[in-house]
Amino acid sequence: MEESAASQGEKKVVAVVGGGLVGALNACFFAKRGFQVEVFETREDIRKAKVVRGRSINLALSHRGRQALKHVGMEQKIVSKGIPMHARMIHSLSGKQSPIPYGRKGQYILSVDRANLNKELLTEADTYPNTKLNFDHKLQNWSAETGLMTFGRPDGSQTEVQADLIVGCDGAFSAVRKQFLRHSRFNYSQTYIPHGYMELTIPAQNGEFAMKPNYLHIWPRNTFMMIALPNLDKTFTCTLFMPFEEFEKITTGDEVIEFFQKYFPDAIPLIGADALKRDYFRLPAQAMVSVKCSPYHIGDKCVLMGDAAHAVVPFYGQGMNAGFEDCIVFDEIMNQFNEDFSAVLPEYTRVRVPDDHAIADLAMYNYVEMRAHVNSKWFIFRKRVDNL
Ligand code: FAD
């Protein structure tokens, strides 16, 4: 069945594949320009779902990301639900805490709830009468020649949809990007790092934060690292990064405690020994991948943005922020070239690939620095790059 035909009205049909952070924001950018926007998201509507699965519970929103939110009038709404983090708080093995500020006085990044951010962006996209959100639509195939896309539905049926422009915002394992691999002169590389990550929770204590809230807490331990970002409900979400083989060595609750006793002793009473023994085994550690590719477009039909174009390892805290910035850069080029996709898409590749690749390299460099150097040296470096 063909659901909608391209170029029916005056404005072209833009299909945004992926209703995650970048896709939902991008839908607003295209809707603001008056395009007929169709978002296709493989998941159900997370605003109605009981359980929302995502890549991390919270994330750090910085200047780049805020600028993009501002463009669609969403900055204050999101900032008001974020928790400012003015500095990193370094936890030494002895339990001593030392702050390292982010840049100048008054500068900060924000801890935001991923699910809430995604929901707010979808709701904003929904307010445009020229936008339609299609959930439970998983892109299976598409044609770079015709712009015809095939989506799988939960009941096993398929739907075909035509668009003038396909915007691939379907994340690190992008189905849109798969078609690019068949094209000559498309460069692609993917690297899994040996580390995995696991999320743990520091609950509120007597209704208050168990640690100082306006910090990004970091426990640097060379091969291992744990960070904690504050949440509005006064909990902290901790993320433990370590090599998969180390995760796998720990097989019992007692071994978890032994490991924490050795490397993160001050975190045991904060997380709670029983919770730690239980939560460590709740979900397996997750992999982290870095994806680089070029070009970001095919002809005048398709363009990649966000993690679909550049998945980065999270040690620089800029994956989403860079994806949000993609939307502004594209928007500016749309102004420059009068929305002529045949000129806009190549220019977007020309301008954006070097910057996104630089962010991917910085993120990987931070990861390598973290493993290779002693704590003090690593943090001098971190201070210099002024991020996580
Ligand atoms: P995604 O968030 O992956 O969204 C892709 C969407 O596409 C999903 O909704 C998915 O369901 C949908 N989809 C997938 N396949 C299909 C298909 N075939 N058809 C239709 N829909 C499809 N970034 C920061 O800026 N700051 C941070 O502090 C930060 N912390 C992080 C911590 C961790 C542990 C990790 C793993 C990442 C972190 N990131 C951070 C990176 C950030 O999560 C990503 O850069 C961001 O989620 C990218 O958004 P996206 O919309 O491009 O992709």
Average pLDDT over residues 37-51: 93
Q: What is the pLDDT of residue 168?
A: 98
What share of the chain in percent tops pLDDT 70?
91
Count the residues in the chain: 388
Contact 268, 276 (CB under 8 A): yes
Strand intervals (E) in 121-267 = 131-134, 138-142, 148-152, 158-162, 165-168, 187-202, 215-221, 224-230, 236-243
Three-class SS of residue 64? helix
Residue 302 reports pLDDT greater than 50: yes
Q: What is the pLDDT of residue 327?
A: 98
Beta strand pairing call for 165-168 and 302-304 = parallel
CA of 41 to the centre of ligand 1 (A): 12
Q: Name the pLDDT band for 101 (thresholds 50, 70, 90).
A: confident
Q: What is the pLDDT of residue 247?
A: 97
Q: What is the pLDDT of residue 376?
A: 52
Atom from ligand 1 closest to the CA of residue 307? 52
> What are the tens digits of pLDDT across the range 155-190?
999 999 999 999 999 999 999 999 999 999 999 999
**Lowest-confidence segment of 20-29, 72-81, 101-110, 371-380 by average pLDDT:** 371-380
Q: What is the pLDDT of residue 54?
A: 63
Q: What is the pLDDT of residue 59?
A: 95
Higher model confidence: residue 388 or residue 34?
Answer: 34
> What are the tens digits of pLDDT across the range 121-143?
999 999 999 999 999 999 999 99
In the sheet that holds 148-152, the strands lie side by side as 138-142, 148-152, 158-162
Contact 223, 242 (CB under 8 A): yes
Mutate to test the pocket of ligand 1, among 38, 51, 59, 387 (most ligand atoms within 8 A of CB): 59
Report how far residue 320's alpha carbon sits from residue 314's, in angstroms, rounded to the nearest whole number: 10
Average pLDDT over residues 236-258: 97
Higher model confidence: residue 102 or residue 15?
Answer: 15
Cβ of 307 less than 6 Å from ligand 1: yes
Checking ipTM against 0.85, whether it exceeds it is yes
Mutate to test the pocket of ligand 1, among 16, 29, 42, 61 (most ligand atoms within 8 A of CB): 42
Average pLDDT over residues 333-340: 98
Cβ of 27 less than 6 Å from ligand 1: no
Report how far residue 158's alpha carbon sits from residue 153's, in angstroms, rounded to the nearest whole number: 6
Residue 294 reports pLDDT greater than 80: yes
Q: Which long-range contacts (CB under 8 A, 24 or more apart) does 147-151 make?
A: 147/6, 147/15, 147/301, 147/302, 149/15, 149/17, 149/40, 151/40
